[in-house]
Amino acid sequence: MIAYLDANIVIYYVERHAYWGPRVATRVAALRAAGDQLGVSDLHRLECLVGPLQKNDAVTLAEFAAFFGDPTVHIFSVAASVCERAARVRAVHRFKGLDSLHLAAAAENKCGLFLTNDATLARFPDVPVEVLT
């Protein structure tokens, strides 16, 4: 199974967030131990790199580069089919634009799980959503 990581999950994981970092690291380790793979989309670079770029934080930028360069992390493109599905997701469920794109990317790429800490996304029916607490 491929577990699609919401952008906030990747940020907490790479930046080792004081509260969320250990929770994410434990869940990611469990996924990998079970033989599951991780998935993200091209959109993650947009969301994940803004903070380190604003701070001119070369160390964190390098850590994100290592994460995105990890051959065990699938990076899905944001193709027209993803954008069209995201439009439908947003129209029906009224999620924010980027959330709709992430959910659509997970669904279009047949991911078996969408890992987030955003409870509002739990009502998405097309991919099982796990809300990390």
pLDDT tens per residue, range 41-96: 999 999 999 999 999 999 999 999 999 999 999 999 999 999 999 999 999 999 99
Q: What's the pLDDT at 113?
A: 98
Long-range residue pairs from 30-35, CB within 8 A, at least 24 positions apart, any chain? 31/3, 31/113, 31/115, 32/72
CA-CA-CA-CA dihedral for 87, 92, 93, 99, to nearest 10? -10
Q: What's the pLDDT at 80?
A: 97
Q: What's the pLDDT at 133?
A: 93
Instruction: Read off the pTM.
Output: 0.96
Dist. CA 96–CA 104, nearest whole Å: 12
Dist. CA 86–CA 91, nearest whole Å: 8
Dist. CA 62–CA 58, nearest whole Å: 6
- Which CATH number describes the domain made up of 2-131? 3.40.50.1010
Query: Could you report the per-residue pLDDT of 28-42, keeping only the tens digit for each?
Result: 999 999 999 999 999
